[in-house]
Amino acid sequence: MQTVGTPNLPPELCDIVVDFLWSNPRSLAACSAVSRAWLPTARVHKFRAIKLCSPHRCMRLERVLDSPLLDSSGIALCVRDLRVGVDSDDTSAREVTVQAFWKSERLALLLRRFTRVHSLRLENLTWADDRLPRPTAEALLAIASGLSHLHLKRVVFDTTDSVMHISSASPTLSRLQASSVSWLRRSRTVARAETAQQELPGLNWRLEQLVSDPSSYLAFLAAATLYPRLLRASVAHMEWAIAEQPHNAWIRQQGESEADVVVRRIMVAVASATVTGEPDGPIDLVRDDPLISTIDSLYINISRPVPDRSAHAWAASMPGYLQNIDVRTIEFNLGTFISDSFQLDSLNFSLLDSVLTLLVSRSKRPEVVVTFRMRVQLAEDNLWWADAEEIRDRAASYFPLHIPKLLALRTRVGLLMTFFHPYRPLAAEPVTREVWWT
């Protein structure tokens, strides 16, 4: 009787099989036990993204890395996406929980083992000497040196210099995302920063994407203004959005309070700067020589519904901080409207008209394109196509009244509308309508 041996599959074919199961942890675990040849590829997917949000999780991972498993020393090299910090959606977390996590003596030892991380997310961190041990801070900076994506979610820095240290630690950084980022004190006065910037070599950033809520953007801009090295940045795509709303009520309240405080620290004169002991005035964020030179596209997202409409007020005023910057396109996502109660009152159009007019008139590029995008939910008695035409015409009549200064500059402005029916989810295709002014 002839014995059938184990088939010898080409390694490339085995990798294709394992790659197909990249999002299925159980299947990956089974694949890693098939043979030694399947083990490396299975581990690349299984340990690609790691979340360290509690001492227990850190201990479990440490046991895996130090276990007698085959080639366990190489598991840490598979980690590309690292998330560190107490989860903001953990409703049981409080200040004691957060500080206990970051003050763990074993955290720094664990972080030093991840040397090939491309994406780092830091969450609920106070970057100060009394809150973050120096070995842990040094380990985070070492990881940051090779990053392409940095995400900071509710990170409070002790000084403005600390903000720049972590965000500029990687020369390969292409994406920066910030939510509820703030700082406690100025590292120096504005005058001393301007003097130092004339003497020291500058920093050059080329970011593919910058995503931030308004207060975090102002915190970064102020930190860069006070940094001794002059920042020159160009951004392909910038997005402003409402700050993330975590499920943990305590963390949410802390983030909102910290955001208000950092804006006051920027806008109000201080009696003395902590480091120099000298009086200092407000930090001027609108400069004749802006820190960000070009923005290819700016996306302002106010689509998320909020209880207080004043939370959208920043969407009208924030473009004022882009004066003298080469902005090519600006898009406002206004969110979803109901067809039978259609009102454009979620945005302060009077302020927005003045701010955009000033921005466009000073822009180095006269062909700035401004678009407004909205979704419209049709009522039950609406006709799918005919009523879309009527609603589009009604919406289009608002804009010449609300943004006359911008249209007087002959700026190219567009209204992009998508209609949907809640009782017809399987419609063949969505109804879209556009209106353009030049």
250-268: average pLDDT: 92
- Confidence at 11, pLDDT banded by 50, 70, 90: low
Instruction: Using alpha carbons, list the distances in angstroms from residue 183 to 125, 227, 280, 363.
Output: 12, 13, 16, 31
Q: State the pLDDT at residue 314.
A: 83
Q: State the pLDDT at residue 190.
A: 92
Q: Which of 308, 322, 160, 125 is nearest to 240 (CA)?
A: 322
Is residue 44 over pLDDT 90?
Answer: no
Instruction: Using alpha carbons, list the distances in angstroms from residue 145 to 115, 122, 281, 317, 404.
Output: 10, 15, 34, 35, 48
- Paired residues of 418 in beta bridges: 375, 432
Residue in this structure with the two tokens 């990053």, named with its chain if needed: 147
From first CA to last CA, the distance across the chain in angstroms is: 84
- The SS3 call for residue 134 is helix
> How many other CB atoms sit within 10 Å of the CB of residue 58?
19
Is residue 339 over pLDDT 50?
Answer: yes
Is residue 120 over pLDDT 50?
Answer: yes
According to DSSP, the β-strands at 412-420 and 81-84 are: unpaired
Question: Both tokens of residue 193?
Answer: 């920063």
Is residue 334 over pLDDT 70?
Answer: yes
256-281: average pLDDT: 82
- The SS3 call for residue 54 is coil
- Predicted TM-score (pTM) of the model is 0.86
> How many other CB atoms sit within 10 Å of the CB of residue 240?
21
Is residue 5 over pLDDT 60?
Answer: no
Range name among 40-44, 103-107, 403-407, 426-430 with the lowest pLDDT average = 426-430
Is residue 85 over pLDDT 90?
Answer: yes
For the chain, the C-alpha Rg in angstroms (whole number) is 26
Q: Which of 314, 303, 311, 384 is nearest to 337 (CA)?
A: 303
- What percent of the chain has pLDDT above 70? 82
CA distance 79 to 117: 6
Residues of 140-169 as b/e, b for ≥16 C-beta within 10 angstroms? Answer: beebbebbebbbbbbbbbbbbbbbbbbbbb
Report phi then psi at 258, rounded to 5.
-65, -35
Question: Both tokens of residue 231?
Answer: 């920042």
Q: For the chain, what are the domain ranges?
A: 11-46
Q: Of 29-43, 220-234, 238-252, where does the model show the most confidence?
A: 220-234
Burial of 51 (0-12, 13-18, 19+ CB in 10 A): middle
According to DSSP, the β-strands at 431-437 and 412-420 are: antiparallel
**Selected residue with higher pLDDT from 210 and 305:** 210
The C-alpha angle 145, 71, 86, rounded to 5 degrees, equals 50
9-32: average pLDDT: 63
User: What contacts 134, CB < 8 A, 6 or more positions away?
Assistant: none
- Confidence at 1, pLDDT banded by 50, 70, 90: very low
CA distance 375 to 295: 26
**Selected residue with higher pLDDT from 10 and 76:** 76
